[in-house]
Structure 1
Amino acid sequence: MFVVSLNYKVPLTENDRLQAAHVEWLNACYADGIFVASGPKKPRTGGIIIARCPREVLDARLAADPFAKAGAAEYDVTEFLARMTAACLDHLKEA
């Protein structure tokens, strides 16, 4: 599993202009079962995505993000093993 930290590289007005396309991209990643959770950072300097897929799939999807294509965000990816979870997330545990 991966934690992706998006960091905005441009003023929020530019990200806001790309937001609808970014949300469409997020929806497609959820529909394909790649993303587990996502949302903006507070304060709004970027966002966080939790993903569950092979790394090469994640890298390809991140490259297709409208934010990435416009050079509006950079991505820091951290892989981790979910060994413990809340009961409602037991299906995400990894051996």
Structure 2
Amino acid sequence: MFVVTVTYTAPLEEVDPWRPAHGDWLNRLISQRLLLVAGRQVPLVGGVYLAPQMPAEELDRLLATDPYVLNGVATHSVVEFTPLLVADGLEDLKSQG
């Protein structure tokens, strides 16, 4: 499983025009279960995604298609981890490690 952090590399006024395309991209990946969770950082300096287990190269290819990245307004940082402890109801996440 992966935690992906998104960091804006441009001012919000340069990020905002790409927000609709980025949202469509996120919705597509979530509907395909290629991302499990996506949200904004607080304060709004980027975002955070939770991605299921997959080859790291596949995740890199997916992240390279992010409209924010394609338009040079954000970067991604990826941390792979193995879920060992989960809250009740989230046991399926343990199989993602």
User: TM-score range with shorter-chain normalisation?
Assistant: over 0.9
Paired letter, 2:58: V
Offset, 1:7: 0.4
Paired letter, 1:8: Y
The answer for unaligned runs of 5 or more in structure 1 is none
1:23 paired with 2:23, answer: yes
1:50 paired with 2:11, answer: no
Q: 1:89: which partner in 2?
A: 90
Aligned length: 95
Q: Secondary structure at the match of 1:87?
A: coil
Q: 1:70: which partner in 2?
A: 71
Offset, 1:68: 0.5
The answer for unaligned runs of 5 or more in structure 2 is none
Superposition CA RMSD, Å: 1.1
Offset, 1:58: 1.1
Q: Secondary structure at the match of 1:39?
A: strand
Deviating beyond 2 angstroms after TM superposition, the runs of 4 or more aligned structure 1 residues are none
Return the TM-score normalized by structure 1: 0.95
Partners of 2:22 and 2:89 in 1: CA distance:
28
Offset, 1:53: 3.5
Q: Secondary structure at the match of 2:90?
A: helix
Q: Secondary structure at the match of 2:33?
A: coil
